[in-house]
Amino acid sequence: MGGGRRRRLGPAVAVAPGARVDRFEIFFDLVFVFSFFIITRATALHISGASLLHALLVLAVLWWAWVVHSVVATRIRLGEGFVPVLMTVGMAALFTFALALPQAFQDPRGNAAGPLVAAVSYVVIRLVHLALFMHAVRDSPNERRQLWHFAPELIASTLILLAAALLPVRISDTGTAALVRDGLWTTVVLAQYSTGMIAGTWGWGITSAEHWTERYDLILIIALGESVISVGVGSNLLGQPPTWPAVTAAVLGIFFTAALWWAHYDMIAPAARIALHAAKDGPRVAMARDAYAYLYLPMIAGIILFALGAEGIVHQIADPRLPTNDPAKSPNVPLLFGGVICYLSANMLFQLRTLRTVSWTRVGAVLVLTVAIPVAAALPALAALGLLTAICVGLVAAEVVVFADAREALHKLVFEEKTAHEANEAAFRARWHERDEGE
């Protein structure tokens, strides 16, 4: 973009230590989470071990792009100056990438247009982020030097994804072609996440811990909300008159999703936010990388898995042609319970990394969920969903009682910070009234 246009739009603005997430970032995230919806929808068409592997591979590659995006947002405000123009290009590429995902893992000997569109769109997303970050660190030699450590990953990811789109169509044997394609995608995932560990923390910085934690918390909330939409759309609740079993299943779905929200955001998320604020320099960057960039991925993977299971179960319950006492169809119960286990296990690792503690209530809940899988598989579908909801709500209720003192102290601290921030904002805005009165 030319210098004249940048001047007309305004310059890029650096992130301040107390910066918060702005509205343009939320706009971007809504487009990003559309990819979660597409992954869930494409996988739900035919659930198998291969389709679940493909969903996780796509999610991992997509999530790495979002991590890079969040790193860029630690340096410049994405809603200021000329930056939204470039980010809109990235959003268009991201939307195209999401639309091409269902074709990315179809017959490897078929048309390469879908995989090629996905690969090229992904490259555009990464190039937009690279251009913005290079602009942000133009005056920081240390960060420019550290940026070059990621150049091999960017080049390798680009070339391997293009190879995964073009090479399998040239292989005559379908099984071999699929194996090559899956192997190339797996190589991309390994290259990306190992680079994040090998590059280390030297030269990086998290200017605003508040912005970083809020950004990741919002994407997780949106992912939980997308799971509700996915269940509602995919289970065909809108396509027929409501029945009491269907309404009950929908209510149970909201309850256990709300319980999973509570499990993270009632105590763990605010305490982790304080821990990241308290950390400085390298330890802060390492915590941000390990706990947020890496461990949010299995939490979101768990959300997608339990959304797939819940969708299948609710679809069965809502179907008036099926007896209500039939057990849930395979593999919906393992997906439902396994997804929640994945979410809670990743959440425990998040708690361990940020707070250096593990709640015995979470360990107990995971064990109960694991033991309950064969039990739920033999129950009627609605009862299986009710059992999961009871376990999740029971976990929340137990922690409210057991950790009452710690919870009260944490909420008091957070509320004091919130009211102090609101008072500062009110005092600043009071100047506008003073100015009006003076005129």
Average pLDDT for residues 186-197, to the nearest whole number? 90
Q: Give the span between the Cα atoms of 122 and 117, in whole angstroms.
A: 8
Q: Give the span between the Cα atoms of 206 and 208, in whole angstroms.
A: 6
Lowest mean pLDDT across 20-29, 182-191, 201-210: 201-210
Q: In this predicted structure, what is the pLDDT of residue 109?
A: 62
Longest CA pairwise span in the chain (Å): 81
Token couple for 366: 């995971």
Q: In this predicted structure, what is the pLDDT of residue 53?
A: 92
Most confident option among 104-113, 203-212, 356-365: 356-365
3, 65 Cβ separation under 8 angstroms? no
Most confident option among 62-66, 238-242, 408-412: 408-412
Q: Give the span between the Cα atoms of 213 and 274, in whole angstroms.
A: 10
Q: Give the span between the Cα atoms of 7 and 57, in whole angstroms.
A: 41
Lowest mean pLDDT across 24-28, 110-114, 335-339, 379-383: 110-114
Element (H, E) at 183: helix 174-198
More confident residue, 19 or 399: 399
pLDDT tens per residue, range 200-237: 665 577 888 898 999 999 999 988 988 888 777 766 66
CA dihedral 282, 285, 288, 291 (to 10 degrees): -40
Q: In this predicted structure, what is the pLDDT of residue 433?
A: 76
Q: Give the span between the Cα atoms of 34 and 226, in whole angstroms.
A: 8
Q: In this predicted structure, what is the pLDDT of residue 3?
A: 53
Question: At residue 30, does pLDDT exceed 80?
Answer: yes
Listing DSSP states for 305-357 in one string gives HHHHHHHHHHHHHH-TTS-TTSBPPTTHHHHHHHHHHHHHHHHHHHHHHHHS-
Nearest to 257 by CA among 265, 267, 268: 265
Question: At residue 392, does pLDDT exceed 60?
Answer: yes
Q: Give the span between the Cα atoms of 396 and 266, in whole angstroms.
A: 9
